[in-house]
Every structure is written in C-alpha cells, then in structure tokens.
Amino acid sequence: MKHYLSHLKSDIPAGVVVFLVALPLCLGIAMASGVPLFSGLIAGLVGGVLVSWLSGSQLSVAGPAAGLTAVVIAAIATLGSFEAFLLSVVVAGIIQLVVGFLKAGKLAAFFPASLIKGMLAAIGLILIMKQLPHALGYLANFNGGEPYSSHSEVLSFFWQCINYLKSTSRGAILVCIGAILLMKMWEILSKKWAVLSIVPGPLLAVIWGVWFNIVGSRWVIGAEMMSHHLVSLPVMNTLSDMMKHVRGPDFSQWANPNIYIVAGTLAIVASIETLLSLEAADKMDPLKRVAPTDRELKAQGIGNIVSGLMGGLPITAVIVRSAANVNAGGKTKVSAFVHGILILVSVMFFSQYLNAIPLSCLAAILIMTGYKLTKPSLFLEMYRRGWTQFLPFVVTVVAILSTDLLKGMGIGLIVSLCFVVRANFHSAISVEREDDHYLIRFKKDVSFLNKMALRDSLLAIEPNSSVIIDAAHAQFVDDDILDTIFDFSISAQDAGVRLKLLNFNIPKTFQHKGLTPNLDLSI
C-alpha cells in the first residue's frame, strides 16, 4: 500500500488523462458494435475498477476494444438478442479464467505476426466502413449488410453508401471532418511540443463536437443536430438509478450451441489482443516490469464475467489507453483504477452532458482509430518483407472481410503454416555433391514433413555413387525419415550405391531390420 501511496502525485493526473481518452472510446466502440452506449461505459468501468487490481500489470489499462467490434455485431446477429450475447461474454470470461489456470498464456506467441497484423488491418477497415453512416449523419437507422458477412454484402454495403449521400446531415459532416482535422493537427503539434500530448486528441474532438452542437450550428444554415445524431444515455443521479438500467444475460439460452461458439471466438480474440497489448505495455514501461501473462488472462476472465453479468461489452487490455497511461506519467495500477472511478462518476452524475456529444464526433474518433490499424504504410511494410509475410497478411484481411473474424483468422493461419512447412522443406536438409560423392546433412530436427524433400534428394543420386547421410545437427529424426532411409538402403545395393550413416541414434526396431547407427554399405 505504501508503494501505491508514494506515487499518487503522478498516478492521479495520469488516471484523469486515461479517463479523457477512454470516455469517447467507450462510447464510440459501443456505437460501432451496435449495442447500447451504456454497455461501453460499463465495460470501461469494470476494466478500470476491477481488472486493474486483479491484473499483474502496473500500467496496462482494460476496457472495451475496437478489435472486438466485428465479433460483437456478427455475434448479436447470430444469437438474435443482446441479452443472449451477454451470456456468451460470461462464458468467454469463464474460458479465459480456465485458460489462465492452465498456464496457457504463452500460446499467443505462436500466432504469426502477419496473421495478427492482418486481423488488426481488417478490423480497421471494418471500423471505417461501419462509421460512414454516422459520419455522414444518415437520417434513417442504418440496417445495412455487414461488410464482413459475405462477399455479396460487402458490395451491397458500398452501394448503400451512395444512397447515404442523398440523405445526410450537413452538421454531422462538418463535425466529423472538423474532428478528424483537429485530431490530425493535434497529433502533429504534439510531436513538436511534447507538453501538448497531456491533452488527448479525442478529447479535443469531443469538445469541438459539443461546441458545434450547442453554438456553431446556429451559424450554418441547415446544420442543426437532430436528437438521433447525438449520444443517448439514460440520465442517472444515484447508484440505484444506474442499476435499473443494467441489462443481464439471458440464461435461458444456455442450451444454444451458438452461445459457446461465440464465446470461444470472443475468448480467443480477446486473449490474443490482451496479450499483445500487455507485451506492448511492458515494452513501454520505463521501469521494464514484466507482467505475468497467465494472471492477466485470469483477470480479464473475471472482468468479462462481471461485465457480461452487468450488461457490458467484452473487455481486453487495450494499447491506446495503456499508451496514454505511460505517456501521462502513470507509475502503478492506481492510475487505471482512477480512470475507472471517473467513468463511474461521469455515468452517475454527468449523463445529461454526455448526451450533447454528436455521434459523428465519435465516428471521427473511430475512423482515425481504424486508419491507424490499416494505414497504407502497413501494407507497404508487409510487402517489403516478402511474399512469405505479405501473402498471409493479405489473405487474412480479405478472408475476414469476406467471412468473419474467426474463419478469416483460420484461413490466414493455414496460409501461414503452408509457408512455414515450405521453408522447413528447404532448410532442414542440404545436399552437397562432388563428382560421384554425395553428402546429405540434416541441419536441424527432421520430421515427416521433410520426408518428400529427403525422398527427392535420394532419387536424384546416380548409380554407383557414394552417399553419406550425417545427422550430427539433428536431435530428433522421425520414424518416417528412418523408413525412407531404410528403403533407400535396400535399393542402393541394387544400384551399386555405397551408403554410410553418421551420428544417428536409431531405435532397436529399425536395428532389427538391419538399419544400424554405424551402417556402412561402402564395402
């Protein structure tokens, strides 16, 4: 406790900054997910007040994540109701809790970087596309096809965007464009004068939107903001008022198999995003503290259970808020806790003021977030890394947009594994030749995946040659490889090939066949 109290002078201001960054993001992510805005604030509240103390990280901040918006919308469409989705959030939390106790937190390190970047780029594109109706101030409810459900719906989505241009709000467009320009300008200025970074760009965007709604729209003819263009939160004055608006999960859906499919998807994506954000937060930590991954999964699991029971969105560790925490001078988890308390206070006592925020302003914040996830320089960087990185990256992006997040990642993972297997073929076995002498080296462990490469190398050996197969650098040689060598040792005698094995550890089952560690058919 003394440790935390000694850093209050830096943690409290940092918590305020994180709150100012998190508030518009909580509202915007809820809007992008197609759920009540209140659920985004609940998720931010749980992430700040509860998960901050359960986590082993001192600087990581948890809350609703933009990376889950695609999963949330598709899940609600599949399950048919928000309450059924909340049950999936609870089950996803239980899965994360179990995974944490099984100490499986390091599994995320086995996902290729091209797959992760492809997932984030696809999410960025989905975020941008989903915010176009709000950015344009479309005058009717947006119920168009989702840009990740099927190929035909991707095309229909763009045709609908043309229709939006026929029915837009001038005020919403001005707010969105002004907010984007303001955030971009502030980002440039903050790089020149670091002191400006204390005030987050999204906060300035919100201030601009509220000012235009109250004052600026009077100066522009036809730019008035209608009620359906503004945030709509229930006005609350006490904790009991807040509890009246809490929506719980529909436990009657427990027998629905789709509940568990959605929960598994949420658990996988949320865990990956959490562990990636945790790693990034550890790298940014000036004190270079390393948070335990398994404890983080347990904390996130409990957080998702509570968030789901209270009607909140699924939560993860989030890099934007964590980075804001570090840059603001946060030292301990108290800063994340302070940001959660401030979200609670804003929900209970300032709802009426939050309702003055234009939705197009939140859309601008999410469009900027989406752009940072899928900026053109990312595609150029992946292209420069070569086809082994670029192709899985592009396939993952296209597959997610054409199907859904989980299927798209599965397709991307298969393509990535194909490149891994191909690389393994070429790197595990080398062949050197001088006249009629061949030296085949196993440069690392060889498995059944290398059987075809070894077979092709042995078939290329000419009759009446000398062959040495050296396994000095292979700690493991698969039985399929030994079978291939045994078959070759038989055919080699008929072809007059002299075969010698070096540094092999051959099981007795093969020795009984005549394939011994010191096999020498050169005589």
Q: How far apart are CA 394 and CA 206, in angstroms?
A: 34
Q: SS3 for 514?
A: coil
3-state secondary structure 381-397: HHHHCCHHHHHHHHHHH
At residue 425, the pLDDT reads 59
CB atoms within 10 A of CB 456: 12
Task: Please tell me the distance from the alpha carbon of residue 270 to that of residue 277, in angstroms, as a whole number.
Answer: 10
pLDDT at residue number 127: 75
Confidence at 158, pLDDT banded by 50, 70, 90: low
Comparing 98-112, 200-214, 283-297, 374-388, which segment has the lowest mean pLDDT?
98-112
Query: E strands along 353-436, which residues?
Result: 429-434
Q: Which of 437, 442, 452 is nearest to 483 (CA)?
A: 452
Higher pLDDT, 172 or 422: 172
The pTM of the full predicted model, rounded to 2 decimals, is 0.68
Look at residue 520 and give its three-state secondary structure: strand
pLDDT value for 406: 67
- The alpha carbons of the chain give a radius of gyration, in whole angstroms, of 29
Question: What is the token pair recorded at 518?
Answer: 């010191």
pLDDT in the model for residue 297: 92
- pLDDT in the model for residue 443: 81
pLDDT at position 110 = 67
What is the model's pLDDT at position 477?
86
SS3 content of the chain, % helix, strand, coil (to 5): 70, 5, 25
What is the rounded average pLDDT for all residues in the chain? 81
Burial of 7 (0-12, 13-18, 19+ CB in 10 A): middle
Tell me the one-letter amino acid at 327. N
- pLDDT at 128 > cutoff 60: yes
